Amino acid sequence: MGLSYGLFICFLLWGGMGLCYPPTTTEDKTHPSLPSSPSVVVECRHAWLVVNVSKNLFGTGRLVRPADLTLGPENCEPLISGDSDDMVRFEVELHKCGNSVQVTEDALVYSTFLLHNPRPVGNLSILRTNRAEVPIECRYPRHSNVSSEAILPTWVPFRTTMLSEEKLAFSLRLMEEDWGSEKQSPTFQLGDLAHLQAEVHTGRHIPLRLFVDYCVATLTPDQNASPHHTIVDFHGCLVDGLSDASSAFKAPRPRPETLQFTVDTFHFANDPRNMIYITCHLKVTPASRVPDQLNKACSFIKSSNRWFPVEGPADICNCCNKGSCGLPGRSWRLSHLDRPRHKMASRNRRHVTEEADITVGPLIFLGKAADRGVEGSTSPHTSVMVGIGLATVLSLTLATIVLGLARRHHTASRPMICPVSASQ
C-alpha cells in the first residue's frame, strides 16, 4: 500500500530557547519524507517509524548524549551508535513504545514524542542542557493507493486499532429500576425484574454499536456448567421472552454503545441454591453499519406474537422463530463451545478486545428454603415449632382449669365444725 503522510514537529523547550524551524521537505521515491526540523528527520513507513536525531539537537554546538534520548511513553532507547556518528537513530513498530492511534474520517493518526531528558554526568550535580519534548505525528490515509507497491488494506484492521489503543472496554451491570444508577444490592424476590445494562467504552474510536450476542444463566460463574438456562441466543434473540416471562430489550437505546434489557428472575428447580450468574457475549460493530441477522437485538412481543428489533429492518428477527440465524439450526452456545473461549470477567472486571464474555452475579433470590435466615419466612420446621408452642399453651391452660375445679370440689366436701355450748 502506498501511503501519504504528514508530520507536525515542534520543540517544547524549557529555558526560553525557541527552536521552531521552518519545515523542509525532501522526496524519496520509496518513502516520501515528512516536513521536519533540521535537527529531527522522521520517516513514516508501512509498519515502522524511523526517527533520526542530530546530536547537535539545539543547534548550539553542544552535543546531546544518546542515553538522554528516548521515544514514546515507554521510553524506547535508540539504536547503538558510535561516538563519531552525528545522528542518533530510532526504529520502532507503529504500535510499540506506547504510541497512540486515533481514527479520523480519512486517516489513521499515530502520535508519539521524542524526549530529551538530560542527567548529570559522573559525580556532577549540574546540567548544561534543557529538557525537551518533540511531538511526532504520522498520518496514514484510510483510502486510496498512491504507489505501485503491493496493495495492503488501506487502514489498520479493527482488532489491531483497538488493541493498539486499549481504550475499548466492555461491562455488564445490574441497574436500578429507573436505569439511573447501578443496583447496590444483588438480592431479588422471585418474579422481580432484573435490569441489566451492557455497555462498551469506546474512548477515541469511531462510533460503535453494541450487541448482546448470547446470554446464559448458571449456578456458578462457569457459563458451560449444568444446569443452564439460555436467555439470549441466535445472535441477539431474547428467547427468554418466549416463555411466561416478560424479558425484553429496552427500546430505543440510550446510546449506540449501550444496550439495556430486563429478565424475569427465576431459580433452578430441584436445586437448593438461591443464586445464579448471568454470562453474556458482547460484541460491537461500526455504528454506521445497518443491523442484520448476525448483529441485532430482538424481543418477542406477546401481544402481537411477533419478534421486533430495537433498530434496523423488521425482517432481521424472522430467523429467531426458526433458530437459523447464522449457521442453520445451530445455536450460538453450540458454536461457542467449539472455539477458544475468552477469559470471563467478574462483576467488576472489563475486557479490552472487540468482543468479550462478561459475567454478572451472583443474583441472590429471597424466598427459597436455603435463604430462611435472610428472609425469616415460615418454613416447614417453623410451622412445626409454632404447632408445638400452641399445643404447650393449650395444655397449660387445660391444666390450670382442671386444677381450679379440683380445688373448688375439695373445699365443698370438707366437714364444717360448729362450736356447742354445754348446759350447766
pLDDT in tens, 232-246: 999 999 999 998 788
For residue 250, pLDDT beyond 90:
yes
Which is more confidently placed, 398 or 309? 309
User: In this structure, what C-alpha cell is assigned to residue 332?
Assistant: 450460538
> CA 11 → CA 86, 136, 231, 252, 253, distances in Å?
20, 10, 57, 49, 46
Residues with Cβ within 8 Å of 73's Cβ and at least 6 positions away in sequence, in order, are: 97, 98, 112
Coil, strand or helix: which one is 226?
Answer: coil
160 vs 322 pLDDT, higher one: 322
Q: Residue 38 has what pLDDT?
A: 66
Q: Which residues does 135 contact at the CB level (< 8 Å), separation at least 6?
A: 8, 9, 10, 12, 111, 113
Sequence letter at residue 104: T
Q: Is 175 in contact with 262 (CB distance < 8 Å)?
A: no
Asked whether residue 161 carries a pLDDT value surpassing 70, the answer given is: no
Read off the pLDDT band of 348 (50, 70, 90).
very low
Q: Give 10's pLDDT tier (boundaries 50, 70, 90).
A: very low
Contacting residues for 38 by C-beta, under 8 A, at least 6 apart: 21, 24, 54, 59
Whether the CB-CB separation of 218 and 279 falls below 8 Å is answered with: yes
* Candidate from 126-135, 193-202, 215-224 with smallest mean pLDDT: 126-135
- % of the chain beyond a pLDDT of 90: 36
Residue 413 has pLDDT above 70, yes or no: no
Query: Positive or negative CA dihedral for 191, 317, 279, 183?
Result: negative
Mean pLDDT, range 84-98, rounded to an integer: 88
Average pLDDT, the chain: 75
CB 195 within 8 A of CB 172: no
Q: In angstroms, rounded to a whole number, what is the distance separating the alpha carbons of residues 35 and 6?
A: 7
Confidence at residue 1, expressed as pLDDT on a 0 to 100 scale: 43
- Is 60 exceeded by the pLDDT of residue 371? no
Helices (H), ranges, 53-141? none
Rounded Cα–Cα distance for residues 181 and 173 (Å): 10
63 Cβ contact list (under 8 Å, min separation 6): 55, 56
204 or 243, greater pLDDT:
243
* pLDDT at site 181: 94
Dihedral sign of CA atoms 308, 310, 315, 319 in order: negative
Asked whether residue 311 carries a pLDDT value surpassing 90, the answer given is: yes
The total number of residues written for the chain in this structure: 424
> Which pairing describes strands 169-175 and 275-286: parallel, antiparallel, or unpaired?
unpaired
pLDDT of residue 28: 38
Q: In what helix (H) or strand (E) does residue 260 lie, and over which residues does it extend?
A: strand 258-264
Asked whether 282 and 172 are in contact (CB, 8 A), the reply is yes
Select the more confidently predicted residue: 416 or 356: 356
State residue 272's pLDDT score.
85
In angstroms, what CA-CA distances link 61 with 39, 54, 80, 81, 197? 12, 11, 22, 19, 61
pLDDT confidence tier of residue 122, bands split at 50, 70 and 90: confident
Please check the confidence at residue 252 and state whether its pLDDT lies above 60.
yes
Q: Is the pLDDT of residue 306 over 90?
A: yes
Of the pLDDT bands very low, low, confident and very high (cuts 50, 70, 90), residue 84 is: confident
The confidence score (pLDDT) of residue 89 equals 93
pLDDT value for 195:
96
Average pLDDT for 243-264: 93
Q: State which CATH number among 1.10.510.10, 2.60.40.3210, 3.90.550.10, 1.10.8.60 fits the domain covering 40-121+128-141.
A: 2.60.40.3210
How many helices (H) and strands (E) the chain has is answered by: 5, 19
pLDDT number for residue 82: 74
Residues 247 and 238: their CA atoms lie apart, in Å, by 7
Separation of alpha carbons 294 and 53, rounded Å: 50
- Pick 169-325+352-365's CATH classification: 3.50.50.60, 3.40.50.1460, 2.60.40.4100, 3.30.200.210: 2.60.40.4100
**pLDDT at 100 exceeding the cut of 60:** yes
What does each C-alpha distance from 175 to 159, 330, 360, 416 come to in angstroms? Answer: 30, 32, 11, 86
**Angstrom distance (rounded) from CA 138 to CA 150:** 21
Residue 36 has pLDDT above 80, yes or no: no
Q: Where are the domains of the chain?
A: 40-121+128-141, 169-325+352-365
So what's the pLDDT on residue 365? 81
Tell me which residue has cell 507536525.
8
Residue 105, pLDDT score: 78
